[in-house]
Amino acid sequence: MTVADTHIPDLTRRKPRSAGQIAGRVALYAVLLVMAGFVLMPLAVIALNSVRVNEDILRESFIGWPTRLTLENWGTAWSTACINASCTGVKPYFWASMLMVVPATVISTAVGLLNGFALTKWRMPCADVIFVCITIGVFLPPQVVLLPWAIALSWLGLAKSLTGLALVHIIQGTCFTTLFCRNYMINLPDDLIRAAQIDGAGFFRTFWRIVLPLSPPIIIVTVIWQFTFIWNEFLFAVTFSSSDFRPITAALMSLNADDTGVSEYGFGSAAVLIAAIPPLVIYFLGGRYFVRGLTQGAVK
């Protein structure tokens, strides 16, 4: 028999659905849509307000459709809005945040990777006890450690400085990154490390040449997590900053508490959106790996 005279039957058969099943589907999607609406509502309002003229917002209502479109709010928010009587926009605070968040993310991720390797693949006495101690940090509420940190920073002479806040985030973040990396690396095959030992590689060489190249999934997870968390963090940012150095989350609060008497919803909304951009960018760049990375860490 040749291919030509092979009869191909209708291949579009589907499992039949009852009316009840279809109704169930419709109800499910309806509920999901409503819930999505609730979640997206605030974001939509802010996004719309950022392109509305402030007088329109005040005259019409806080929630409303733009009658006139403007991008002026974005410019104002970025470079000329007044915060605590200095009219620089959020620009300097944005860069201050960057200067603090990037090193804190990089360093805490690097330390977490090294910790994870040492705790799982290198014969380290009391590795389990040390791991438990480190992960306790994950479960401590920030309010509990606030005062000890304040005291520690003033001892170190780093109170209310960029370095001080970065240090807090590096050490707090290391608890998370160690947890992530350790749980990922415990699934790397031991034989690879043993092979490297036989091949004459030491701790750092094994780490650099064997372990690190196998770790991109967990590196991406950790970077996204750390960047987003530190960037958005508010309590430490407010507590450990001053007019010399203020992260953007702390600055936004002052912007809202403007004392000119007129509420500036327009560029306020734009400023909030500007502050939300970097984590979004990081998330979209690494987002695909985020999901994949987490499952890889969990089930191998």
Partner 1 sequence: MASLSIETIWKAYGDVIALRDINLEIADGEFVVLVGPSGCGKSTLLSIIAGLEDTSHGALHLGARDVTDLSPKDRNIALVFQSYALYPTMTVRQNITFGLENRRVPRDEQARAVAEVAKLLQIEPLLDRKPAQLSGGQRQRVAMGRALVRDPDLFLFDEPLSNLDAKLRVEMRTEMKKLHKRLGQTIVYVTHDQVEAMTLSDRIVVMNGGEIQQVADPDTIYRKPANLFVAGFIGSPAMNFLDVEITGRPGELSAVLPGPSPVTLPLGATRDELTPYLGRRVTLGIRPEHLRPGGDGLPLDCTVEVVEPTGPDTMLVLDMAGHALVAVTPAEYRPAEDSRITLALQIDEASVFDPETGRRIARAEEGAAVETLAARRRA
Q: How many CB atoms lie within 10 A of CB 249?
A: 20
**In the complex, minimum distance from the CB of residue 188 to partner 1, in angstroms, rounded to a whole number:** 10
Q: In whole angstroms, give the CA distance from residue 215 to residue 218.
A: 6
**In this structure, what are the phi and psi dihedrals at residue 72, rounded to the nearest 5 degrees?**
-60, -40
Query: How far is residue 268 CA from its own chain's centroid?
Result: 22
Q: Which is nearer to partner 1, 37 or 216 (CB)?
A: 216
- Listed ranges 60-68, 102-110, 133-141, 210-218: which one lies at the site for partner 1 (CB under 8 A): 210-218
Using CB under 8 A as the binding rule, whether residue 203 contacts partner 1 is answered as no
Q: Which helix (H) or strand (E) holds 266?
A: helix 265-299
Using CB under 8 A as the binding rule, whether residue 292 contacts partner 1 is answered as no
Nearest to 152 by CA among 243, 239, 242: 239
**AA letter at 253:** M
SS3 for 176?
A: helix
**In the complex, minimum distance from the CB of residue 194 to partner 1, in angstroms, rounded to a whole number:** 5
- Listed ranges 71-79, 172-180, 203-211, 257-265: which one lies at the site for partner 1 (CB under 8 A): 203-211
Using CB under 8 A as the binding rule, whether residue 213 contacts partner 1 is answered as yes
* 262, 172 contact by CB (below 8 A): no
**In the complex, minimum distance from the CB of residue 216 to partner 1, in angstroms, rounded to a whole number:** 10
Nearest to 168 by CA among 142, 149, 151: 149
Using CB under 8 A as the binding rule, whether residue 102 contacts partner 1 is answered as no
Query: Which residue of 57, 90, 166, 210 would you call a contact of partner 1, by CB under 8 A?
Result: 210
Residues 161 to 190: which contact partner 1 by CB under 8 A?
Answer: 189
Which residues lie near partner 1 (CB under 8 A)? 189, 191-192, 194-202, 205, 209-210, 213-214
